[in-house]
Amino acid sequence: MNAAVPKIRMGFVGGGEGAFIGQAHRQAAGLAGRFELVCGAFSRDPDNNRDTGATLGLPASRCYNDWQHMLTAEQALPVEQRMELLVIVTPNHLHVPIATQALQQGFHVFSEKPAALNLAEVRALAEVVNSSPGLYGLAHTYLGYPMVWQARDMVRRGVIGALRKVIVEYPQGWLSQDVAGQGNKQASWRDQPEQSGLGGCIGDIGTHAFSLAEFVADQPIEQVCASLGTHVPGRQLDDDAAMLFKMASGASGVLIASQVCAGEENPLKIRLYGENGGLEWRQEEPASLIHRSLDQPLRILRSGVGQPWLCDAALQRMRLPPGHPEGYLEAMANLYGDFATAIRQGTEAVGVPGIEVGVRGLAFVEAVIANHRGDAKWTTLACNP
């Protein structure tokens, strides 16, 4: 009988009481079943930090007042006790300093996106990642959905023929009004350039649409022609974006990202068209992948363990039989599961977006902003080969 593989000891920076994304990360890690929460610096508010730790069953000695103290104290513990993986779920401006110090002290890092505030900063982080023994993963959660992998596999196998058109859209409605002025903390820091970065909507959700398009199409976006808008008075950063783009193969595309589409929830959607057919996937209906063909009836592929028409990469990311919905937490859990395998086997984190995705995301944001502000019709992403 094989010996049990020990769970990976995990710590958090950020994600205190009232923070949605921190709780989502903990639930996803729990669903993956291969992690144990051992410490945290959950909030700058001492009461929130203490209460979060107590709610999660942590001893007071492993609930730290700040992340610097946590890294130093954890490194001083015996190897069999100390944290192995640091999860970063803070506002954007802290992603690089925390990840840099954690990697330099020998910890693995799994960070919320975007990886940094700007392209220069993420490039500096990439140097640290590439020179450190620790692994680095980025929480582009939508790339954990099984049917996203199925769509990518079908594009790769030429099921729809040579790619011609990609349309990806991510409309939200939660910033249709001045909710930051009404006291919404999540909206407030997202509109502060020093905390969020140069982009508002384009950095927050536009990077999700961008990474999804590149992943499923299995090729890079090379150029953009973009327009940004800010519709709510007093807002500093963009809340609406639309653009054309060109891909490496010559395929053309359209990307729309907006947080002022009143009434919308989270309908991230991608459509891809080749010479022989098309594919469509929607985040709000993640178990379905629509396949259109020139000479066959439309068909809908459905997720579920054991479906013989699905690719291995998709099946490996499913837990339940057909008809049992799996969603956002399961997709994030897939990233955590792949990261755990890489940590324990000492291999590359296959299936987990890494620093290269972070670099491309910031190059995308800066190219979009430069194109919007400038006179050039097309702007090339700075990180293209």
pLDDT of 294 strictly over 60: yes
pLDDT tens string 261-284: 999 999 999 999 999 999 999 999
What pLDDT, on a 0 to 100 scale, did the predictor assign at position 3? 64
Q: Which band of pLDDT confidence, cut at 50, 70 and 90, is reported for residue 1? A: very low
CB of 223 within 8 A of CB of 246? yes
- Residue 221's alpha-carbon distances to 218, 231, 271, in angstroms, are 10, 27, 15
pLDDT tens string 192-228: 999 999 999 999 999 999 999 999 999 999 999 999 9
Instruction: Compute the residue count for the chain.
Output: 385
pLDDT tens string 231-245: 999 999 999 999 999
Share of the chain above pLDDT 70, in %: 99
CB of 227 within 8 A of CB of 241? yes
Multiple choice CATH, 8-141, 3.30.1050.10, 3.90.650.10, 3.40.50.2300, 3.40.50.720: 3.40.50.720
pLDDT tens string 80-113: 999 999 999 999 999 999 999 999 999 999 999 9
What pLDDT, on a 0 to 100 scale, did the predictor assign at position 192? 93
Mean pLDDT of the chain, nearest integer: 96
Cα–Cα distance for residue pair 349/115, rounded to 1 Å: 17
Share of the chain above pLDDT 90, in %: 95
What pLDDT, on a 0 to 100 scale, did the predictor assign at position 2? 56
pLDDT of 385 strictly over 70: no
Strands 108-111 and 85-89: parallel
For the domain made up of 144-314+360-372, give the CATH fold: Dihydrodipicolinate Reductase; domain 2 (3.30.360)
What pLDDT, on a 0 to 100 scale, did the predictor assign at position 384? 73
Mean pLDDT of 119-137: 97
pLDDT of 53 strictly over 50: yes
Torsion of CA 344, 346, 347, 348, to 10 degrees: 90
Cα–Cα distance for residue pair 198/118, rounded to 1 Å: 7
- The model's pTM is 0.96
Mean pLDDT of 166-177: 97
**Range list of β-strands (E), the chain:** 8-14, 35-41, 85-89, 108-111, 136-138, 163-171, 221-229, 240-247, 252-258, 269-274, 277-282, 288-293, 299-302, 379-380
3-class secondary structure, 319:
coil
Listed by start position, the domains of the chain span 8-141, 144-314+360-372
DSSP 206: I
What pLDDT, on a 0 to 100 scale, did the predictor assign at position 99? 98
Cα–Cα distance for residue pair 348/341, rounded to 1 Å: 9
